[in-house]
Amino acid sequence: MTQLQPHIRLRREMTHARYALLPGDPKRVEHVARHLDNVEDFGSNREYRSLRGWFRGVEVLVMSTGMGGPSTAIAVEELRQIGVTNLIRIGSCGAMQNHIRLGDLVIATAAVRDEGTSKMYIDPGYPACADIGLVHHIAQQAKHLGYPSHCGYVRSHDSFYTEREDEINQYWSAKGILAADMETAPLMVVGSLRGMRIASVLNVVVEHSGSLEEGINNYQQQEHTCQQGESREILLALEALYLDSQEQ
């Protein structure tokens, strides 16, 4: 029997899945389960809530990563140890462009490494990039399903509440960055270094209003739109991984 991974509490014998969906929020794991057949709950440890199921005959592992780079990197490392090779993040983000609305989906092609975790792995000059094949399938399915989506660069960071947040956001917005989250860059860097295929689909939960605090407050008032975006990103990721699996 193979080693039980110390944080995610999974071992290779528990699943043969090569694809994993990675929400940040443990509650979102249950939302993904509604789309799967023959769901088996693996329970939770710390921020890592996991289960497996089948989507159109393809085995899928679903596991939350928690918030931020460190817990995401741990998830990537331990998922690799149990044989997972394809990771799709289904998370939330704040828009950094005025034309991007609540509930829109951002398909990250690459990420600004404005966080600390990836820098512990490799020099900042190493790019944080998504797998082009997975991105192609996700973008193709978004168009097919008619979901409002945007492909491009995002920024990953470590804090919401520093004194310079508005200044920093305006800077990167002016450079054309579409959205900001906390996990995409470390996911891409660590996954790529470990030979895994990585993608990230983000649901916009905060518009580019010029004030992060105002945007967070508006999020509470726009819950329905954000929930619709979450449902769409889940289905989009599942459809894309199915399409990808048929070509492997």
In a domain, residue 1? The reply is no
| Cα-based angle 65, 135, 57 (whole degrees, multiple of 5) | 70
**What's the confidence (pLDDT) of residue 13?**
97
CA 63 to chain centre: 11
Average model confidence (pLDDT) for the chain?
A: 95
Q: How far is it, in rounded angstroms, from Cα 150 to Cα 148?
A: 7
In a domain, residue 5? The reply is no
Q: Which domain holds residue 32?
A: 12-245
Task: Give 13's DSSP letter.
Answer: G
How far are the Cα atoms of 19, 61, 65, 131 from residue 136, in angstroms, in the given order? 16, 21, 24, 9
**What's the confidence (pLDDT) of residue 223?**
83
**What's the confidence (pLDDT) of residue 224?**
85
| Confidence check: pLDDT of 55 > 80 | yes
pLDDT (tens digit per residue) in 195-248: 999 999 999 999 997 555 665 666 566 888 899 999 999 999 999 999 999 997
CATH code of the domain containing 83: 3.40.50.1580
In a domain, residue 4? The reply is no
Nearest Cα residue to 61 out of 79, 34, 74, 81 = 79
Nearest Cα residue to 63 out of 19, 12, 124 = 19
| pLDDT band (50, 70, 90) for residue 1 | confident
Q: How far is it, in rounded angstroms, from Cα 107 to Cα 213?
A: 24
In a domain, residue 85? The reply is yes
Q: What is the mean pLDDT of residues 67-86?
A: 99
In a domain, residue 240? The reply is yes
CA 190 to chain centre: 14
In a domain, residue 190? The reply is yes
How far are the Cα atoms of 158, 181, 220 from residue 30, in angstroms, in the given order? 26, 22, 21
Q: What is this structure's pTM?
A: 0.94
Q: How far is it, in rounded angstroms, from Cα 24 to Cα 242?
A: 21
Q: Between 218 and 7, where is the model more confident? A: 7
In a domain, residue 2? The reply is no
Q: Where are the alpha helices (H) located in 155-211, listed in sequence order?
A: 165-174, 184-193
In a domain, residue 65? The reply is yes
Q: How far is it, in rounded angstroms, from Cα 140 to Cα 85?
A: 21
Structure-token match 């741990």, residue found: 74
Q: Pairing relation of β-strands 179-181 and 149-156?
A: parallel
Q: How far is it, in rounded angstroms, from Cα 30 to Cα 53?
A: 11
Q: How far is it, in rounded angstroms, from Cα 87 to Cα 21?
A: 6
Structure-token match 């828009």, residue found: 95
Total number of domains in the chain? 1
